[in-house]
C-alpha cells in the first residue's frame, strides 16, 4: 500500500516505511493546503492518513485518525487494516522514502565504522545517502510495532 501522511503525522512515516509501505509525508513535499494534499494523494494513488475529518471525507481513500500520540495512532492504523509487520528487507528510506540499496559486506567505505561487525547487512538510500541497519533504534521501533499488533489482536478477539 501507498500512503500520504497529512501535516502533524510525520512521526508515523518511519514506522510505516519500516514495514515496507511507500509513505510520503506531506510537509516533506512542501504540501500543506487541503487541495494540494488531495491532489498529491489522488495523483500518486495514495491513501491519505489524516486527523482532519473533512479532508478524510474528500479523499478517494483515507484513514481518519483521532489520537494525538504516535503509539495510539499506530493502533488506529492497525485497526484500519494497515499491516504493521516490519519488512524483512527494508525497501524505503526512513528519512526520505527513497529506495534503499544493500551495501556489500566488503564495501568498507560505505559501511559506518560504528556498526558492529555482527550487525549485517547495511542499506544505503539512493536518494539521500542515509544508511540503515537493524540496530537498537530498529529494535525499539520493532518492539513498539509488536506491542501495537498484540494489543490490536487482543481487541479483535474480544470484540
Binding residues for Zn ion, rule: CB under 5 A, are 93, 95-96, 98, 125, 127-128, 130
Of 99 and 140, nearer to Zn ion (C-beta) is 99
Minimum distance, C-beta of residue 22 to Zn ion, in the bound complex (Å)? 13
SS3 61: coil
Kindly tell me which of 48 and 132 has the beta carbon lying closer to Zn ion: 132
Give min distance, CB of 96 to Zn ion, in A: 3
Per-residue exposure over 73-107, b if at least 16 CB sit within 10 Å of its own CB, e if not: bbbbbbeeebebebeeebebbbbbbbebeebeeee
Nearer Cβ to Zn ion, position 51 or 95?
Answer: 95
Q: In what order do the strands lie in the sheet with 22-25?
A: 22-25, 2-5, 47-50, 62-64
Q: How far is the CB of 120 from Zn ion (least distance, A)?
A: 20
Q: How far is the CB of 99 from Zn ion (least distance, A)?
A: 9
φ/ψ of 106, rounded to 5, equals -90, 5
Which lies closer to Zn ion via its Cβ, residue 130 or residue 144? Answer: 130
Amino acid at each position: 500500500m501507498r500512503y500520504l501522511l497529512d501535516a502533524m503525522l510525520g512521526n508515523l512515516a518511519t514506522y510505516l516505511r519500516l514495514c515496507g509501505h511507500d509513505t510520503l509525508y506531506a510537509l516533506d513535499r512542501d504540501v500543506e493546503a487541503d487541495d494540494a494534499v488531495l491532489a498529491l494523494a489522488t495523483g500518486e494513488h495514495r491513501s491519505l492518513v489524516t486527523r482532519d475529518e473533512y479532508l478524510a471525507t474528500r479523499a478517494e481513500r483515507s484513514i481518519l485518525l483521532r489520537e494525538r500520540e504516535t503509539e495510539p495512532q499506530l493502533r488506529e492504523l492497525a485497526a484500519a487494516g494497515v499491516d504493521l509487520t516490519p519488512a524483512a528487507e527494508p525497501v524505503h528510506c526512513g528519512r526520505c522514502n527513497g529506495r534503499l540499496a544493500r551495501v556489500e559486506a566488503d564495501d568498507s567505505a560505505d559501511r559506518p565504522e560504528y556498526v558492529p561487525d555482527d550487525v549485517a547487512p547495511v542499506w544505503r538510500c539512493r536518494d539521500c545517502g542515509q544508511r540503515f541497519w537493524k540496530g537498537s533504534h530498529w529494535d525499539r521501533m520493532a518492539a513498539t510495532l509488536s506491542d501495537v499488533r498484540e494489543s490490536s489482536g487482543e481487541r479483535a478477539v474480544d470484540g
